[in-house]
Amino acid sequence: MSAISDRLKNVSISASAAMTQRARELAANGIKVISLSSGEPDFPTPAHAIEAAHVAALAGDTKYPPMDGTPALKAAIIRKFKRDNNLDYDASQIVVSGGGKQVIFNAMLATCNPGDEVVIPTPSWVSYADIVKFAGGVPVAVPCHEQTGFKLRPEDLEAAITPRTKWLFLNFPNNPTGAACSRAEMASIAEVMLRHPNVWIMTDDIYEHLVYDDFQFCTIAEVEPRLYERVLTMNGVSKAYAMTGWRLGFCAGPKELISAVSNVNGQNGGGIATLTQAAATAALDGPQDLLKERAAIYKERRDFVLDRLSEVEGLRCHRPDGAFYLYPNMSGLIGKTSKGGRKIETDVDFVMALVDEHHVATVQGAAYGMSPFFRISYATSMEKLGEGCARIAQFCRDMC
């Protein structure tokens, strides 16, 4: 009899993690791999956040934490929601978890009954569907097409909602497309949701601060206050403050829901590392100028990669408003053969041949639920981006 639960059998290993692993294997063999697969800022954690963790450790802040977050961090999160999103919450409406990922995991475990449907605008972050399945729910993909800027169209959302729908997930700026949602677009999504009072909304705002060309981020609970009682607003410090390794995410929402999420939090971790909470408090309360400074750098990188790739025959690249990803369409290369003799039938063939022959790691669109595309993360140096783009261009040029 297998030791593995049925629950786990439906859950796959993240494709971006698998590609990062492939790149590491090649690197271990002495090959210089350009890794454009990882969704991780290449900047350091702000020094004042590191300092705060150090001070907390020396001061003896090393005991079990409260299950839902320290009072100091919750207060900083409340200030953050007011400052950035004009949303009011009190401490009983906040839970802190081990990364945004754990927030979503806990929320789904706390709320999904077998067969509950979760509407996921797609392309989408690889983990959403797996987390939903893990919790017994059924992911329902709503396509957000390239022709409409990978945005969620209200009519497509409306069509996806059934009497079994429990949740709608929103993630704009989006991983993997970088598509963002204007206030008017968010208002039309909200209008659909007002017609469906039994559906909850989880908004993953982790890329909130990564928007370019004066794009104004907005979040649904603020755009439509009548939805406030049905929205779980999720955010974290990983992407904005380059704190991926510290593992801290948080969410805010109606008390009853938050108390259920907190209950799961207590069972599967018992609260988040005290030093991480001290660092996150300092990041959220400290100087915020670095957000704009870093966004300006990401924007330069986006423009650079867009320019390079739009010259490549066979690729078509949408201009994203946020996050740090590009999602080029590679349909123009389907049916061709790489210089190394690989027939390119799918985006999986494309990214595998690219990493093996030209040593550039990217991720296939299939992993995000929409083909034929591939995801490039530009959260890396200009030097690596230049080399990566040159190799991609060569790889495509060499196909016949």
Q: Which is nearer to ligand PLP, 239 or 358 (CB)?
A: 239
Length of the chain: 400
Q: Is 206 one of the binding residues for ligand PLP (CB under 6 A)?
A: yes
Are 180 and 218 a contacting pair, CB within 8 Å?
A: no
Site residues for ligand PLP, 65-104, by CB under 6 A, read: 99-101
Tell me if 322 contacts ligand PLP by CB under 6 A.
no
Nearest approach, Cβ of residue 331 and ligand PLP (Å):
25
* Amino acid making up residue 258: I
| Options 20, 238, 338, 380; binder of ligand PLP; rule CB under 6 A | 238
Closest separation between CB of residue 236 and ligand PLP, Å? 4
The C-alpha atoms of residue 311 and residue 391 are separated, in whole angstroms, by 13
Distance CA 137, CA 377 (A): 30
With beta carbons less than 8 A apart as the criterion, state whether 298 and 65 touch: no
Q: Is 350:315 a contact under the CB 8 Å cutoff? A: no
Q: Which is nearer to ligand PLP, 69 or 100 (CB)?
A: 100
Q: Within a 10 A sphere around the Cβ of 348, how many other Cβ atoms?
A: 18
Binding string, 272-311, against ligand PLP, x = CB under 6 A?
----------------------------------------
Query: Min. distance of Cβ 202 from ligand PLP in angstroms?
Result: 10
Find the angle CA(303)-CA(306)-CA(312) to the nearest 5 degrees: 150
Tokens of 60: 């003896």
Q: CB of residue 98 vs ligand PLP: minimum separation in angstroms?
A: 8
Among 84, 130, 146, 204, binds ligand PLP (CB under 6 A): 204
Structure tokens at 121: 């605008």
Cα–chain-centroid distance for residue 109?
Answer: 19
Distance in Å, CB of 244 to ligand PLP, minimum: 5
For the chain, the helix, strand and coil percentages under 3-state DSSP, each to the nearest 5: 45, 15, 40
Residue 313: both structure tokens together? 């025959």
Q: Does 324 bind ligand PLP (CB under 6 A)?
A: no
Which residue sits closest to ligand PLP, CB atoms considered? 99
Window 36-65: contact mask with ligand PLP (x via CB under 6 A): ---x--------------------------
To the nearest whole angstrom, how small is the minimum distance from the Cβ of residue 205 to ligand PLP? 9
Identify which of residues 171 and 262 has a Cβ nearer to ligand PLP in the complex.
171
Which residue from 69, 249, 328, 365 is in contact with ligand PLP, where contact means CB under 6 A?
249
As measured in angstroms, the least distance from the Cβ of 238 to ligand PLP is 3
User: Residue 165: in which H helix or E strand, if any?
Assistant: strand 165-170
**DSSP symbol at 270:** S
Q: Return the half-sphere exposure (C-beta side, CA atoms, 13 A cut-off) of residue 385.
A: 23
89 or 325, CB closer to ligand PLP? 325
- Nearest CB to ligand PLP, comparing residues 189 and 206: 206
Shortest distance, CB of residue 101 to ligand PLP, whole angstroms? 3
Place of tokens 């100028």: 289
Pick the closer one to ligand PLP by CB: 118 or 353.
118
**Cis amide prior to 71 (ω within 30 degrees):** no
Asked if 157 and 189 touch (Cβ cutoff 8 Å), the reply is yes
CB 324 to ligand PLP: min, Å: 10
Among 46, 69, 236, 320, binds ligand PLP (CB under 6 A): 236
- Mask of contacts with ligand PLP, 118-137, x by CB under 6 A? -------x------------
Task: Enter the tokens of residue 37.
Answer: 């697969």
Q: Residue count at the site for ligand PLP (CB under 6 A)?
A: 13
Cis check for the bond before 163: say yes or no (omega within 30 of 0).
no
The CB density around residue 314, as the number of other CB atoms within 10 Å, is: 18
Ranges within 157-186 binding ligand PLP (CB under 6 A)? 171, 175
CB of 242 to ligand PLP, least distance (A): 11
248: nearest Cα among 70, 126, 90, 37: 70
CA distance 92 to 245: 27
By CB under 6 A, name the binding residues for ligand PLP: 39, 99-101, 125, 171, 175, 204, 206, 236, 238, 244, 249
